[in-house]
Structure formats: C-alpha cells, structure tokens
Amino acid sequence: MHVLLVALLVAIVAGILEWDIYGWGQTMISRPVVAGPIMGLILGDMKTGLYIGATIEMMYLGTIPVGAAIPPDPTAATAIATSIAILSGIDPKAAPALAVPVAMAAQSLQMLIWTGNVGLTHKADKYAEAGNIKGMEKIHITGSFLFFLQGFVPAFVATLFGVSAVKLVIQHIPTWFMNGLTVAGGMLPALGFAMLFTMMSSKKLLPYFIIGFVVAAFFKATLIAAAALGVGAMLLHLNKFEKSEA
C-alpha cells in the first residue's frame, strides 16, 4: 500500500506540473529546473531534485513547441527521472540519461492527446453553433484535463512498476555501464547548450561567449560571478547599441 500511495502522490504532482503548460497559462512550474525541486521536495530529497532538474533544463534549453512540431517532453522526463532516482537510489548523475527515453515516450502520448482534442474541437464547434455555453465549457475542461493525464499516467506506471525494476537492474548492472550512464548524463547538458548556441549564435555576440567561457573555465569563476559579468556585458552592449541608433 505504501508503494501505491507514493506512486499516486508522484503521479498527481507530475500531472499538475504537466497541466501547467495547457491548463492555466503556464506559470513555468513545468520547466525542469522548477519541476525537479518540487518533485524532490515531495519525496524528501530536494537537493537531488534540483540537481536533476537543472541538468535536464540544460538539455532542453532550446527545445520549444512550434505549431504542430511537438518536441520531447522535458516535464514528464524530469518528474519521472527524479522520482525513480530518489526512490531507487540511483546516482543522480546517471538519472538524466533515463530522461531521454521518457521524454520521447511522453512526446508520443502528447501527440495522441492533441489528435484526440481535434475531435473535441469539432464537438465544441457544434455546441457553439447551438449557443450551448456550458457544453463548450465542458469540452474545454475535458481537453485541458487530458494534459494532466499526460503527466499522471506515465509517472504512476513508472513509479509503481519501474522503481523495483530499476533497483533489481542496479544490483546486477556492471560498474562500467553505470559509469557510462554517468558520463552520458554529464554530456547531455553540454549537447543541449550547444544546440541553443547554434540557434542563437551571432558574430557580434561571439566575443562575449569566448570571454565568459575563459573566465568560467580558466579563472574558476562562480556562477554568480559569471552571471554578474554577463549582465555587465549585456548592459555595455545595449548602451553601445542605443548610441549607434541615436
């Protein structure tokens, strides 16, 4: 019963996090860097949740839905990877590697939900023609609630059946393989940042990137110091831009 209650709790939280995107205007709790600590707080290990959430956030920094192009789902990936890592005791550094297949599976589920919502939209059109406001409201709520299920169902199944399976695998998995997952988990954020840099790269902004990289890598600057330097560089760039426009 304890396992069932934990799975229900994780699934409800995952559903609420997922619902944020299409439910009430996206308050950004669906972002991995927020979803991870929330899931960690629920399971009593906020530090692990923050680590996994921040790592997955880096993986999907430049991934956004555009029109009908549905990217892998980072919210479900964060919720499930965090819960499995905390409940099974897997190394948090290896957990992001688990997030990739989860995000792909959730992507397929979201495509199914969007397809189903097409039928609901046609039904809403009929209610609109008949002037049935309450019917339109029910269709809207139903279509929105499906996205709660997008987070709830995979998280419930993964937590209820996946944790014990992961524990069993960990007991028999070779050390070299776990080390490989750890290395892969560390490389994935760099890949995500590289994809974002490819989309946003500019010859005018490249010097700032080089300076920031050198300061962080060779002078061991803290995140706060690097961020402060970045803000300063941004202000200098904006001031120069405004003067050139004047």
Please give the share of the chain, as a percent, with pLDDT higher than 70. Answer: 77
Total residue count of the chain as it appears in this document: 246
Please answer whether residues 46 and 58 qualify as being in contact, where contact means their C-beta atoms are separated by less than 8 angstroms.
no
Q: Tokens 């760039």 appear where?
A: 237
Cα angle for residues 64, 66, 71 (degrees, 5° grid): 50
Instruction: Output the pLDDT for position 1.
Output: 47
Over the stretch 122-140, which tens digit does the pLDDT of each residue have? 888 888 888 888 888 888 8
| Cα dihedral: 213, 215, 217, 223 (round 10) | -90
**In this predicted structure, which of 27-41, 64-78, 121-135 has the lowest mean pLDDT?**
64-78
What are the tokens at 235? Answer: 């202000």
> What's the whole-model pTM score?
0.68
Separation between Cα atoms, residue 185 and residue 192, nearest integer Å:
11
Check residue 104 and report its DSSP letter: H
What are the tokens at 97? Answer: 């590697």
Per-residue pLDDT band for 39 (boundaries 50, 70, 90) equals very high
